[in-house]
């Protein structure tokens, strides 16, 4: 087992959201003594059927619990959203002082069913694939860029097994999350979409172009991206602008939650990421952005990640709005030697953001400043930011 960086509430009830396979159940087994937990696993067909037919069974089960039980875990709660009404009542009642832990790998069914999200009576935490820090001495950047950070990947002995796991994961997502839940009317356009979307990982979304590629209309493609967000497979990075209205008029970027999964969905697992190639650079940039997202979430920093691009295509890889701290502008390079020319876009924006901190995170191990830009090895830069 890997030690996780996420901080879960000690006594307050909470939701724990995360895509399938990120280790939610394993984390809870690390945190809580099995003898103090009552588990309802809605992935088990028997449990899902029983509670779907009669959600009030939860009240009966909780009332019958011995005093040694301090935590009630409902795994994959989105499968029976009605249970949240009962959890709400039990929290309000408070007679047993129980902590409810509600895990989920999809917010879609909760939104669609207008589920009771407990109106602040439960906190929310998100769990992601492993960070470099969580892997510790086992971490290897080439392995991570090729296969990602799903915990099972790092328990497998060889690349053949890793490939088989990721292929199965991609197939299971389509089969169980999309087909079984009947989320889309026609599965074939969605299959085409998810391959194209994965190939465009980390790039600006062009809804019209993707629609032509997959044989759908732009509105449908936009709804497909919402499915990926709702099933926790990815997130948007919006364009930076001080005006919220202007932000909304520009296309966002979309990032999948894990490089290994995105490579599987894009059918690129046969491509070996080689240092010095554009493909390696894209994977490294995505990896650094994902690390920032995860660390910000786990530390409850409330950072907002954006990008900045001008009409003539000058671009800043990442703009980080940090509450009570200076704006951070980041350039991300996979090069082992960073030169001033690599910072030309960052330096171009320096006068427009005189109060901002400028960073270049790269594979260059020599720490230095170039015209006010802090050039740092990526791990050191992540710790500082």
CA-based end-to-end distance of the chain: 28
What's the chain's length in residues? 385
Other CB atoms within 10 Å distance of the CB of residue 25: 16
d(CA 293, CA 288): 9
Q: Which domains, and CATH codes, for the chain?
A: 14-126 (3.40.50.300), 132-269 (1.10.10), 279-384 (3.40.1350)
Contacts of 230 (CB under 8 A, 6+ apart): 106, 107, 108, 111
pLDDT score for 190:
85
Q: pLDDT value at position 183? A: 64
| pLDDT at residue 270, as a whole number | 94
Angle at 173 between CA 170 and CA 178, to 5 degrees: 135
Distance CA 346, CA 166 (A): 36
Task: Give the per-residue pLDDT at 31.
Answer: 94
CB of 95 within 8 A of CB of 63?
Answer: no
Q: Which backbone phi and psi does 191 adopt, to 5 degrees?
A: -60, -45
Question: How far is CA 354 from its chain centroid?
Answer: 32
8 A C-beta contact, residue 356 and residue 329: yes
Would the CA dihedral through 311, 317, 323, 327 be positive or negative? negative
The residues, any chain, with a CB within 8 Å of residue 304's CB and separated by 6 or more, are: 320, 321
pLDDT computed for residue 241 by the predictor: 79
DSSP 124-191: EEE--SPPHHHHGGG--HHHHHHH---GGGGG-SSHHHHHHHHHHHHHHIIIIIIITTT-SS-HHHHH
**CA 380 – CA 347 distance, rounded (Å):** 21
Rounded-to-integer distance, Cα 137 and Cα 154, Å: 12
The pLDDT, as a whole number, for residue 112 is: 58
pLDDT along the chain (385 residues), means of 10: 92 92 94 95 93 95 93 93 90 83 80 58 91 96 98 96 95 69 70 93 95 92 90 92 63 96 96 95 97 96 91 85 94 95 90 92 96 96 93
Task: Tell me the sheet residues that pair with 377.
Answer: 362
Q: Where are the alpha helices (DSSP H) in the chain?
A: 24-31, 45-53, 57-63, 83-93, 108-112, 132-135, 141-147, 159-172, 187-199, 207-214, 218-230, 244-249, 259-265, 278-298, 344-350, 378-384
Q: Are 101 and 26 in contact (CB under 8 A)?
A: no
The predicted model scores a pTM of 0.92
């Amino acid at each position: 087992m890997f030690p996780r960086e996420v901080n879960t509430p000690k006594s307050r009830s909470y939701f724990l959201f995360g895509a399938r396979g990120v280790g939610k159940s394993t984390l809870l087994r690390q945190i809580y003594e099995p003898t103090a937990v009552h588990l309802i696993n809605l992935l088990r067909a028997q449990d899902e059927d029983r509670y779907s037919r009669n959600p009030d069974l939860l009240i009966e089960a909780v009332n019958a619990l011995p005093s040694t039980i301090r935590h009630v875990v409902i795994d994959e709660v989105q499968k029976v959203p009605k249970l949240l009404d009962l959890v709400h009542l039990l929290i309000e009642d408070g007679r047993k002082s129980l902590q409810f832990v509600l895990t989920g790998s999809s917010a879609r069914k909760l939104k669609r069913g207008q589920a009771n999200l407990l109106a602040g009576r439960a906190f929310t935490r998100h769990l992601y694939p492993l960070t470099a820090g969580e892997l510790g001495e086992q971490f290897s950047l080439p392995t991570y860029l090729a296969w990602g950070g799903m915990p099972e990947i790092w328990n497998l002995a060889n690349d053949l097994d890793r490939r088989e796991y990721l292929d199965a994961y991609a197939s299971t997502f389509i089969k169980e999350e999309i087909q079984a839940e009947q989320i889309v009317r026609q599965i074939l356009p969605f299959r085409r979409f998810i391959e194209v979307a994965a190939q465009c990982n980390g790039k600006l979304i062009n809804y019209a172009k993707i629609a032509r590629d997959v044989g759908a209309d732009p509105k449908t493609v936009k709804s497909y991206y919402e499915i990926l967000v709702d099933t926790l497979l990815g997130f948007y990075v919006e364009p930076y602008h001080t005006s919220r209205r202007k932000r909304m008029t520009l296309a966002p970027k979309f990032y999948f939650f894990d490089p290994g999964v995105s490579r599987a969905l894009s059918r690129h697992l046969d491509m070996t990421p080689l240092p010095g190639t554009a493909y390696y650079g894209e994977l490294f940039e995505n990896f650094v952005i994902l690390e920032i997202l995860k660390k910000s979430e786990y530390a409850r920093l409330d950072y907002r990640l954006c990008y900045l691009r001008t009409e003539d295509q000058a671009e800043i890889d990442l703009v980080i709005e940090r509450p009570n701290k200076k704006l951070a502008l980041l350039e991300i390079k996979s090069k082992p030697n960073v030169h001033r020319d690599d910072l030309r876009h960052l330096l171009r924006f320096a006068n427009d953001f005189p109060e901002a901190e400028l960073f270049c995170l790269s594979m260059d191990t020599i720490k230095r400043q170039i015209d006010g830009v802090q050039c740092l090895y990526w791990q050191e830069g992540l710790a500082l930011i």
